[in-house]
Structure 1
């Protein structure tokens, strides 16, 4: 049996005390410092290197992983710079000497970690340096086991989903601001295959394939359904195994987002859509629903807050047409901007922080909108709901304008109307003029009514859905789908009237 050098024996013992266990090296394996370590390598010597860098204050992850990725390379470069060595990110004889002889200079402050850019969403199909850094961080923590290649494919999706589930974030396989922010913070839990993922429940999460689930059903199939809906951000309650009204509403929300038949019944079409779902029920790109919550109903809510109070706030903002994705319970950048927009509309301090006064004002405004929707005939045959119409329309904000377009790849004004009404079970004509003639005239618009304008030609040539507070959502030729104010000079001078199309 090969003997360890005294130096390596001491290091192994100290790491065992720290809770990091190494496999014993074979006789053919070089001891630490006898071979150069560089980017892409993965072995026990890299773990020793990371531990030594950690002791010197240059490697800031909780656990040495044994993988020499971008983070380890940067830590080596920072150590080399602090010790007047050649800065190349490669651990060779000079770097080993400074580390093992105790002559290294520890940083006066922890070096800045390599951060993943958070300016855009990373999802399946993405590629580039940001994906490389994402894979590096996931690999450092043990979630990503494939080769780092900068391509966001199924293996990266699964690694992100596992990270999100373990760290109690919104599970959607998409690296958005919250997931990236959590990774950049250095607070991510290392992967532990012995630990069951959060929210896994006691039963199987395998979706059934040969059954239909509907209201009042019970059992493991319903548990699996609720778990998958919860992972995708459509269900924020406890997994109970009982198919009640809340589960039915979550199913409907998912069906609407997946653009399939909306009936609240889970059959083969819905099961297949759930299994293959790559979209997000979350808005704050990868946000967690959070079961607890910082910031109660009576407190101030701000970026980082989470829990039921945030979910309620997001629902109210969605009612007002200001929050354009599914509520997540996490107060991220999208929620902040929605609050800020509301504050600007009401001449409040526009800082994006939901104080008690802001929350009360949002609630009051949402109540008015709901009353307007009720007086405007929110019910109707086929279960038509005005607030669903507004919520669905708002999810397309940012979609580009395309002349003759009538799909999510691009809309013109009347194509947008026809599409949104259609997914809510209402068939209306195609052009603005036809829709004007089809609708029932109203003296003043209520939420959900369609407002018409005379723009490039005589008669009704443009329209949008009224969302209250003198605002409407429409597909503008220069803006794409957006929200506009009817009181501006341009729109007020071209206004023809409102029609009810539902």
Structure 2
């Protein structure tokens, strides 16, 4: 018995020494607790990597995943442990500096390649954030013709939000006005001049690009609940949803399914194209439900049973209630 107690005491002492050493070299990892963890969470939250309402002093899976995302974005080993290299990178990002030790030197562009192709954005950017990277984003949006201002600033305000939304729409990606990984990748491609989906801002946007943008916007609201009379991202009814999606993409339609059924041109079921409005007779005679056709016999709409969702036209319920389609996007 005494031998067992002695062994346990030794193990406990080793554990204490190890933990102390870990803290001494500023390592934080999964399962640890303390004010250092809370400070780390607050920093990751401010940079857009940690999406939680309230920070804690516990290093759990959400903190680990946020650290991994931060490490990937900054060219570090993505192991989820917050050590000296990650700490230096975090401080540099917070102060708007480039971390020359943790980030690979960008490839020197060819003479014909715009210098902006080497741009690296180290964090997710959102409304009300500030920093030199915000100013750089504004300059990029301005160079592409999306931001109409004389002087760029370090503040992410409503004009930057609107410019990003316009860029996201014309690039057929999710429209939310924030600058995350997908938008960053698309922007860098656009600056390189290799984005096939990005139209010339001086030319009229093509129908295909409009359709792609509408569908991308529509899909970004999957899961939003249903409410009769709803016409905002808090809750939609079917025609409020289609009207909102079109408005987000610079187009307008009337408010009800019945009136939308009179817009555009009639399309036979065999000639349906992506972006066409499809109509159904559900709870009353005539067009009482509307959705947006996605191709492959699928459409997206705000349903009373499941909110915004993608459904098959061939499903028995919708197939028997289908009454026609209209082509509105031109």
Q: TM-score range by the shorter chain?
A: 0.5 to 0.7
2:15 paired residue number: 53
**Matches of 1:178 and 1:143, distance apart in 2:** 12
Paired residues of 1:465 and 1:472 also in contact (CA < 8 A) = yes
Paired residues of 1:384 and 1:425 also in contact (CA < 8 A) = no
- 1:41-78 Cα offsets, whole Å, 9 max, x none, are xxxxxxxx99831667xx5x9822599x9x9xxxxxxx
Moved more, 265-274 or 416-425: 265-274
- 1:403-435 Cα offsets, whole Å, 9 max, x none, are 000000000000000000001000110000111
Larger radius of gyration: 1
Q: Residues 51, 232 of structure 1: CA spacing in aligned structure 2 closer, same or farther, 3 A cutoff?
A: farther
1:482 paired residue number: 309
1:446 paired residue number: 273
Say which of 81, 103, 123 aligns to 1:188: 81
Paired residues of 2:64 and 2:80 also in contact (CA < 8 A) = no
2:322 paired residue number: 495
Secondary structure of 2:241 counterpart: helix
Confirm or deny that 1:399 pairs with 2:276. no
Confirm or deny that 1:265 pairs with 2:142. no
Displacement of 1:440? 1.4
Displacement of 1:442? 1.8
**Matches of 1:231 and 1:470, distance apart in 2:** 36
Displacement of 1:475? 0.1
Paired residues of 2:261 and 2:279 also in contact (CA < 8 A) = yes
Q: Residues 53, 244 of structure 1: CA spacing in aligned structure 2 closer, same or farther, 3 A cutoff?
A: closer
**Matches of 1:398 and 1:390, distance apart in 2:** 15
Say which of 435, 440, 458 aligns to 2:285: 458
Secondary structure of 1:467 counterpart: strand
Q: Residues 385, 54 of structure 1: CA spacing in aligned structure 2 closer, same or farther, 3 A cutoff?
A: farther
* 1:55-70 correspondence to structure 2 within 5 Å: 63-64=22-23
Paired residues of 2:226 and 2:302 also in contact (CA < 8 A) = yes
- 1:23-53 Cα offsets, whole Å, 9 max, x none, are xxxxxxxxxxxxxxxxxxxxxxxxxx99831
2:256 paired residue number: 431
* 1:9-28 correspondence to structure 2 within 5 Å: none
Q: Residues 501, 326 of structure 1: CA spacing in aligned structure 2 closer, same or farther, 3 A cutoff?
A: farther
Say which of 8, 17, 38 aligns to 1:144: 38
Q: Residues 457, 481 of structure 1: CA spacing in aligned structure 2 closer, same or farther, 3 A cutoff?
A: same
Q: Residues 200, 274 of structure 1: CA spacing in aligned structure 2 closer, same or farther, 3 A cutoff?
A: farther
More RCO (CA 8 Å, sep 6+): 2
Displacement of 1:379? 1.8
Superposed CA RMSD: 5.3
Could you tell me which runs of 5 or more consecutive residues in structure 1 were left unpaired when the two chains were aligned.
Answer: 1-48, 72-112, 115-135, 146-154, 163-170, 206-216, 234-238, 253-262, 282-314, 320-324, 330-369, 371-376
Displacement of 1:271? 4.2
**Matches of 2:252 and 2:287, distance apart in 1:** 19
- 1:199-230 Cα offsets, whole Å, 9 max, x none, are 8499769xxxxxxxxxxx999xx97xx737x5
**Matches of 1:179 and 1:194, distance apart in 2:** 14
Q: Residues 227, 418 of structure 1: CA spacing in aligned structure 2 closer, same or farther, 3 A cutoff?
A: same
TM-score (norm: length of structure 1): 0.39
2:51 paired residue number: 174
1:417 paired residue number: 242
Secondary structure of 2:246 counterpart: helix
Confirm or deny that 1:473 pairs with 2:277. no
**Matches of 1:158 and 1:378, distance apart in 2:** 40
Residues paired across the two proteins, number: 245
2:56 paired residue number: none
TM-score (norm: length of structure 2): 0.56
* 1:316-327 correspondence to structure 2 within 5 Å: none
Displacement of 1:480? 0.3
1:29 paired residue number: none
Q: Residues 460, 275 of structure 1: CA spacing in aligned structure 2 closer, same or farther, 3 A cutoff?
A: closer
Paired residues of 1:413 and 1:464 also in contact (CA < 8 A) = yes
**Matches of 1:440 and 1:274, distance apart in 2:** 36
1:408 paired residue number: 233
Q: Residues 181, 401 of structure 1: CA spacing in aligned structure 2 closer, same or farther, 3 A cutoff?
A: same
Displacement of 1:490? 0.7
* 1:186-335 correspondence to structure 2 within 5 Å: 187-190=80-83, 195-197=88-90, 200=93, 227=121, 231-232=124-125, 247-248=140-141, 264-265=146-147, 267=149, 271-273=155-157, 328=182
